[in-house]
């Protein structure tokens, strides 16, 4: 898959095998947190739509993205229901907050950083769906593979908007967030979540 190759290059590191092993053991938590992630992704897109009302390309792409993420949310809930997994509150992973703490406060830097972070979150989700699918049961593997196309497009949408609105090269900023993202993925993490780092207990 061409987009997946592009995503792996963009990310710069793969999900640790220890996380894949833990995900197989903690599929209930994986699905609950996945549902939360889809809901948060829709919320992020909606927030951007409310904040940046004067950018038609952003409004159109984020509107579509929010709808797709909410459909994915419903699909995860449906899978959980068939497996008697109760949707409940979970503490958030350090991942998104660890990236967002570096967002600049003034515009347009703030918007550019949020869009770059959006690209990383979508790209990492896509990479994890692809890497995890071979180890899952047929139903879940099929579902995760079905998400690859849309998540790959969401990554491209975020990155494309960041490049469009920056008005200057953003390679250095992308590289800065790549370093932060890789650290969050590879460093030992005390809890298991969809975007958590390498399990500290392995």
b/e map 111-147, b = 16+ CB within 10 Å = bbbbbbbbbbbbbbbbbbbbbbbeebeeebeebbbeb
Higher pLDDT, 201 or 88: 88
> Is residue 200 helix, strand or coil?
coil
Q: What is the pTM of this model?
A: 0.97
Q: Three-state SS for 135? A: helix
Q: What is the pLDDT of residue 17?
A: 97
Angstrom distance (rounded) from CA 68 to CA 74: 10
Tally the residues of the chain.
Answer: 202
**pLDDT tens digits, one per residue of 5-51:** 999 999 999 999 999 999 999 999 999 999 999 999 999 999 999 99
Domain 2-199 -> CATH class: mainly alpha
Largest CA distance in the chain: 50
Instruction: Report in angstroms the alpha-carbon separations of 201 from 113, 191, 192.
Output: 33, 9, 10
Give the residue, 1 or 57, on which the prediction is more confident. Answer: 57
125-149 per-position pLDDT tens digit: 999 999 999 999 999 999 999 999 8
- Which stretches of the chain are DSSP H helices? 2-11, 17-25, 27-51, 56-82, 94-100, 109-132, 138-166, 171-186
Residues of the chain above pLDDT 70, percent: 99
pLDDT confidence band for 202 (50 / 70 / 90): low
Kindly state the tokens that stand for 163. Answer: 């490049």
Return the sign of the alpha-carbon dihedral for residues 197, 86, 155, 162.
negative
Contact between 33 and 193 under an 8 Å Cβ cutoff? The reply is yes
| Backbone φ and ψ of 168, nearest 5° | -160, 165
pLDDT per residue over 156-180, tens digit each? 999 999 999 998 999 999 999 999 9
CA distance 101 to 108: 17
Residue 134, CB half-sphere, CA atoms under 13 Å: how many?
Answer: 6
Q: At a CB cut-off of 8 Å and minimum separation 6, what does 187 contact? A: 197, 198
Say which DSSP state 133 is in: G
- DSSP β-bridge partners for residue 188: 198
pLDDT band at 3 (very low <50, low <70, confident <90, very high): confident
User: What pLDDT was estimated at residue 201?
Assistant: 77
């Amino acid at each position: 898959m061409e987009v997946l190759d592009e995503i792996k290059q963009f990310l710069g590191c793969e999900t640790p095998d220890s996380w894949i092993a833990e995900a197989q053991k903690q599929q209930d938590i994986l699905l609950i947190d996945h549902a939360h992630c889809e809901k948060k992704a829709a919320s992020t897109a909606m927030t951007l739509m409310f904040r940046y009302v004067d950018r038609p390309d952003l409004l159109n792409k984020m509107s579509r993205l929010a709808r797709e993420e909410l459909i994915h949310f419903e699909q995860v809930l449906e899978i959980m229901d068939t497996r008697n997994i109760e949707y409940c509150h979970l503490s958030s992973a350090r991942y998104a907050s660890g990236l967002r703490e570096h967002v600049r406060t003034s515009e347009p830097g703030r918007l550019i950083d949020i869009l770059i972070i959006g690209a990383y979150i979508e790209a990492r989700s896509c990479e994890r769906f692809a890497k995890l699918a071979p180890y899952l049961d047929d139903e879940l593997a099929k579902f995760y593979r079905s998400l690859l196309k849309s998540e790959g497009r969401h990554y491209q949408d975020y990155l494309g908007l960041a490049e469009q609105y920056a008005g200057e090269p953003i390679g250095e900023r992308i590289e800065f967030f790549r370093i932060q993202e890789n650290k969050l993925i590879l460093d030992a993490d005390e809890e298991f979540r969809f975007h958590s780092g390498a399990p500290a207990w392995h």
